[in-house]
């Protein structure tokens, strides 16, 4: 199970807007029938993918998702969400910027993609992959990198519609806002709000994965 908490506060109106955007996507047999904790929450119970739940607690947006489809238990998600909502004072806020040296190298290029100053930054490891995150109040960029067997490696080049770009080995842009490339035995994916500026961000970050 993966639990993600927004770095900055999210209003009820913003959460409702996100739910509306999810509801407009009919892919994968998704169902957003339940507003479990009010109109600014939603449940994601697809027929062929993992369940997920989104809700606000103490002004922060919390997204919960099952990681294994065959061990999916939506009732468990809802139970944990109710426990989080019952915490005195809610989820403790963390600093907006938590610098990780490797990720800090890309902050300037990330700001160019976002079109504004980076006000949120994260970095670390998740499972078998490392990650970097940069964001503003309007959008975020996420980088995942991992060796063979990691999620970035398994998904590398899976989109048949892609355009080659000069970054790393096998660099390409595919769906709007996705850059993929390889550095040696490390596979890298960068997700952004737009493809503009992603190649330069990839070039800045590529040296991190050499050696």
Nearest CA among 183, 190, 174 for reference residue 210: 183
Count CB neighbours of 80 within 10 A: 15
What pLDDT score does 25 carry?
A: 57
What pLDDT score does 143 carry?
A: 95
List domains and CATH numbers for the chain: 2-85 (3.30.310), 101-209 (3.40.1000)
Q: How do strand 60-65 and strand 2-5 relate by DSSP bridges?
A: antiparallel
Q: How far is CA 140 from the centre of its chain?
A: 8
Count CB neighbours of 142 within 10 A: 14
Count CB neighbours of 11 within 10 A: 12
What pLDDT score does 64 carry?
A: 85
Q: How do strand 140-146 and strand 163-164 relate by DSSP bridges?
A: unpaired
- 3-state SS, one letter per residue, for 106-120: CHHHHHHHHCCCCCE
Q: What DSSP assignment string belongs to 17-58?
A: HHHHHHHT--GGG------TTSTT-EEE--SSS--EEEEEET
Residues 11 and 69: beta-carbon distance below 8 Å: no
What pLDDT score does 14 carry?
A: 83
φ, ψ of residue 84 to 5 degrees: the values are -65, -40
What pLDDT score does 126 carry?
A: 72
What pLDDT score does 207 carry?
A: 95
Per-residue pLDDT of the chain (211 residues; tens, 9 = 90+): 777 777 777 888 888 877 776 666 555 444 555 667 777 888 877 666 677 888 888 888 888 887 665 565 778 888 888 888 888 877 776 676 677 889 999 999 999 999 999 988 888 887 778 999 999 878 889 999 999 988 888 888 777 778 999 999 999 998 778 999 999 999 999 999 888 899 999 999 999 998 6
Instruction: Kindly calculate the radius of gyration of the chain based on its CA atoms and give it in whole angstroms.
Output: 18
CA torsion 30-35-41-45 (nearest 10°) is -30
CA distance 34 to 40: 11
Q: Which residue has the tokens 């961000």?
A: 201
């Amino acid at each position: 199970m993966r639990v993600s908490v927004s770095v900055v506060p999210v209003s009820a109106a913003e959460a409702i807007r996100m739910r509306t955007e999810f509801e407009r996507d009919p892919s994968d047999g998704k169902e957003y029938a339940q507003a479990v904790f009010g109109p600014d929450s939603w449940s994601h119970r697809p027929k062929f993918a993992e369940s997920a739940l989104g809700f606000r607690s103490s002004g922060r947006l919390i997204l919960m998702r099952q990681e294994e489809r065959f061990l999916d238990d939506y009732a468990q998600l809802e139970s944990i969400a109710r426990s989080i909502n019952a915490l005195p004072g809610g989820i403790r806020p963390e600093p907006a910027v938590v610098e990780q040296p490797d990720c800090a190298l890309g902050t300037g290029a990330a700001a160019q993609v976002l079109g504004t100053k980076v006000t949120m930054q994260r970095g670390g490891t998740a499972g078998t992959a490392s990650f970097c995150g940069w964001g503003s109040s309007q959008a975020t960029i996420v980088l995942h990198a991992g060796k063979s067997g990691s999620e970035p490696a398994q998904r590398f080049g899976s989109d048949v519609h892609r355009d080659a770009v000069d970054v790393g080995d096998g660099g390409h842009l595919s769906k709007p806002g996705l850059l993929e490339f390889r550095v040696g035995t490390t596979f890298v994916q960068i997700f952004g709000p737009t493809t503009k500026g992603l190649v330069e961000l990839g070039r800045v970050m590529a040296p991190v994965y050499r050696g």
